[in-house]
Amino acid sequence: MQRRRTGTIAVASALGMTAVLGGCGLTGDSGEVTLKLVAADYGDSKANSSQVYWDELATAYEAKNPDVNVDVTVYSWNDVDRKVREMVEDGKAPDLAQIGAYSDYADQDLLYRADDVLSIPVQANFVSQLSTAGRVNGVQYGLPFAASTRVLFYNKTLFAKAGVTPPKSWDDLADAAEALEAEGVKYPYALPLGPEEAPAETMQWMLSGGGGYTDDVGTYAIDSPQNVTTFTWLKDELVDKGLTGPVAPGKLNRADAFAAFAAGDVGMLNGHPTLMKTASDKGVKYGMVQTPGIDGASKNTLGVTDWMTAFKKNGHQEAIGDFLNFVYSDENVLAFSRLYDLLPVTTSASQVMSTAEEDENLKPFLDELLLSELYPVGKTSWASVSADIKKRIGQAVAPGGSPREVLGQIQATAMRAGSVE
């Protein structure tokens, strides 16, 4: 989807040449400049497409900055990272890209540093965990844009029918799943280890077992004893007992699991804030609790953030910076977060949301954010490791599969990819 506008802007193809109309008034020149922005779509229909959000934001900014035009193209999450990569490879990088990763571009010295384009107050206002995750070798290149955490969603109607209460531990979860299965629930626990978002479900379970993708010093530890124990338990206690539904976990994608929950076919699953609206719209009565851990509620949870990146290619440093300072105002951060049931990435907006009555349903996720751990996105090897997790992790719980062997294979990929960092 691309923004179509009249006036002085010639709308170019997303893969075409960015229109540069002279210098930017912000730099003291008399001409105009067009900033090319590529963004991901968080909407689920044309009516709430992110294109609408960005169009309104760009119009508001241009009204105050007549020498700067903002040309926005929005792609689905299935396409946006690939589209940006193709633009960069073709020598036609956008000025700004709101995407899923940043470290490979930072490693190639293609990005402005955060302090090149943001005012000190704006940069200092990022939630600390997110700001830290945006760093490569101690320098921040990734600008957090949208965040979410995970909690366990459960179907209150199905739980009441099965006579079980929300689980606090793995054993509780397994017992509840058995009771749900006995009542004919299609997916007692939905375990989406399919390629769409396997790294998220994988990390959530690893954290609940006291592990994770890396150790305390940041070295990959994918085949750690804790992680092997976690996936062995998943295979033995849930998958092999038929408690994860009719679709093999390695073939079940998050979107399909969420749709099944909204259809009333799932007893419980890990979910992020957008599932609330999806379930409510279908009339599902749901509850949310902290992710169960090996001995009780998990001490850590998964945090996910998407990134804004600022490319050097077109040299629009001042215009980029001024626009980003506008994007990260509390008003705009809150508007985007509320529109898509996401968490603010700035401290000041988070404080507003934590006390606002209209945001009460997001508070459980907001509380989790302070305890969350994020993907090791600062590692340039993460893209390769993430891809290998998507490819292999379902095999760890498949019939005849070996969690130790599969996690060892992914660890080997991580060590090879990490050796060049």
In a domain? residue 298? no
For residue 221, pLDDT beyond 70: yes
Amino acid 15: pLDDT: 26
DSSP 112-174: --HHHHS-HHHHHTB-HHHHHHTEETTEE--EEEEEEE-EEEEEHHHHHHHT----SBHHHHH
At a CB cut-off of 8 Å and minimum separation 6, what does 169 contact? 292, 293, 294, 295, 296, 297
Q: Is residue 17 part of a domain?
A: no
DSSP state of 395: G
In a shared domain, residues 138 and 89: yes
Query: pLDDT tens digit string along 270-307?
Result: 999 989 989 999 999 999 999 999 999 998 889 999 99
- Same-domain status, 407 and 324: no
**Given pLDDT bands bounded at 50, 70 and 90, which one contains residue 23?**
very low
Task: Give me the amino acid identity at 181.
Answer: E
**Inter-axis angle of helices 225-233 and 198-208, nearest 10:** 110
What's the pLDDT score for residue 3? 38
402 shares a domain with 266: yes
What local confidence, expressed as pLDDT, does residue 268 receive?
98
The helix/strand/coil state of 74 is strand
SS3 225: helix
Do residue 104 and residue 178 come from a single domain? no
Residue 16 lies in a domain: no
| Residue 310: inside a domain | yes
**Residue tagged 């539904």 (tokens):** 245
Instruction: Tell me what the mean pLDDT of segment 327-333 comes to.
Output: 97
Query: Residue 5 above 50 pLDDT?
Result: no
Q: Is residue 326 part of a domain?
A: yes
Mean pLDDT of 191-210: 94
Q: Specify the number of domains making up the chain.
A: 2
Closest CA to 83 of 21, 116, 36, 148: 36
Q: Is residue 385 predicted with pLDDT exceeding 90?
A: yes
User: In 3-state terms, what secondary structure has residue 110?
Assistant: coil
* Strand runs labelled E in 235-336: 266-271, 286-289, 301-310
Together in a domain, 368 and 390: no
pLDDT at 7 over 70: no
Q: According to the model, what pLDDT value does residue 78 have?
A: 78
Query: Has residue 82 been placed in a domain?
Result: yes
pLDDT tens-digit profile of 362-376? Answer: 988 988 887 789 999
267 and 155 part of one domain: yes
Residue range 192-210: average pLDDT?
94
Residue 165 sits in a domain whose CATH number is: 3.40.190.10
Backbone angles phi, psi at 213, to 5 degrees: -75, -30
Query: For the residues 50-76, what does the mean pLDDT come to?
Result: 96
Same domain assignment for residues 191 and 68: no
Percent of the chain surpassing pLDDT 90: 78
Same domain, 63 and 203: no
Domain of 123, in residue numbers: 25-147+304-373
Strand-pair category, 151-155 with 266-271: antiparallel
345 touches 129 (CB < 8 A): no
Residue 84, token pair as written in the block: 């940006």
Q: What angle do CA 97, 102, 74 make, to 5 degrees?
A: 25
Residue 29 reports pLDDT greater than 90: no
Q: How many CB atoms lie within 10 A of CB 17?
A: 11
4 within a domain of the structure (yes/no): no
In a domain, 54, yes or no: yes
What gap in Å lies between CA 329 and CA 323, rounded to an integer?
10
Q: Are strands 187-189 and 266-271 parallel, antiparallel or unpaired?
A: parallel
Same domain for 117 and 252, yes or no, is: no
Burial class of residue 371, CB neighbours in 10 A (0-12, 13-18, 19+): middle
- Are residues 360 and 389 both part of a single domain? no
- Determine the average pLDDT of the residues in 45-50: 86
Q: Which residues contact 193 (CB under 8 A, 6 or more apart)?
A: 201, 202, 249, 250, 252, 393, 394, 397
On whether both 204 and 262 belong to a single domain, the answer is yes
Entry pTM: 0.81
Q: Do residues 268 and 364 share a domain? A: no
